[in-house]
Amino acid sequence: MTRRYPTLKETPSQTAGPYVHIGMNPNVTGIHGVYETDLGTTMKTGAVRGEEITVTGTVTDGMGGVLKDAVLEIWQADADGLFNAPGETRGVADPEFSGWGRAAADLQTGEYRFDTVKPGRVPWRDGRLQAPHISMWIVARGINIGLHTRLYFDDEAEANSEDPVLTRIEHQHRVPTLLAARTADGLYRFDVRLQGENETIFFDM
């Protein structure tokens, strides 16, 4: 008989639903006065190190329809590749940069926007450097469990070509779905396609 270890099962996920904003971005849907500001709207609390960038985009469904009820969160390193978190043991991250942001897609247009900084490179588990990237998590009505993806930068071709995650992807033609396009100075476009043609790569990690 095998020995049984007492482990618990993770609480199962459920969809965030169409009214997710009430709890996560109440000011967006007109609930004012409970929270001063919506959590995660400001990632920069002062003069930050590195290049300040803006990322915009939309999330589309399998018929090309833009989701107007999605909420996106990002988590990333600072310009030096350090995380503003207790688990960061390699140095002290930029104290003016939280590294975490939350944005509701615009209720009319579906556009999301993050004002952030371009992250530095972070080591992979074996010590190899990853290309600069931002972790992204997407929830919405119809999404039963939050979707994890990564945003890389199309102007980091050399770093991308040696990234431990991008290089392990079997279907290399799908890699561009993870690349944000630099459309102007400091401005990147990253559109997420949930299903179908050019479907974005999502991770189970």
Q: Which of residues 107-136 bind other proteins (CB under 8 A)?
A: 107, 122-127, 130, 133, 135
Nearest approach in angstroms of CB 113 to other proteins is: 19
**Which among 83, 106, 105, 104 has a CA at the least distance from the CA of 94?**
83
Among 13, 42, 167, 183, binds other proteins (CB under 8 A): 13
Q: Which is nearer to other proteins, 63 or 184 (CB)?
A: 63
By CB under 8 A, tell whether 169 contacts other proteins. yes
Q: Which is nearer to other proteins, 18 or 176 (CB)?
A: 18
Nearest approach in angstroms of CB 6 to other proteins is: 7
Nearest approach in angstroms of CB 50 to other proteins is: 17
Q: Which is nearer to other proteins, 161 or 198 (CB)?
A: 198
DSSP one-letter code for 22:
H
Nearest approach in angstroms of CB 178 to other proteins is: 10
Nearest approach in angstroms of CB 138 to other proteins is: 10
**Which among 25, 169, 158, 157 has a CA at the least distance from the CA of 101?**
25
b (16+ CB within 10 A) / e for 138-177: bbbeebeebbebbbbbbebeebbeebebbeeeeeeeebeb
DSSP one-letter code for 19:
T
Considering only residues 54-93, where is the footprint of other proteins by CB under 8 A? 61-63, 65, 67, 69, 73, 75-77, 83-88
By CB under 8 A, tell whether 95 contacts other proteins. no
3-state secondary structure of 24: helix
Among 147, 151, 179, 180, binds other proteins (CB under 8 A): 147
User: Any bridge partners for residue 101, and if so which?
Assistant: 74
Roughly how many angstroms between the first and final C-alpha of the chain, as a whole number? 31
Nearest approach in angstroms of CB 34 to other proteins is: 5
Considering only residues 36-55, where is the footprint of other proteins by CB under 8 A? 36, 39
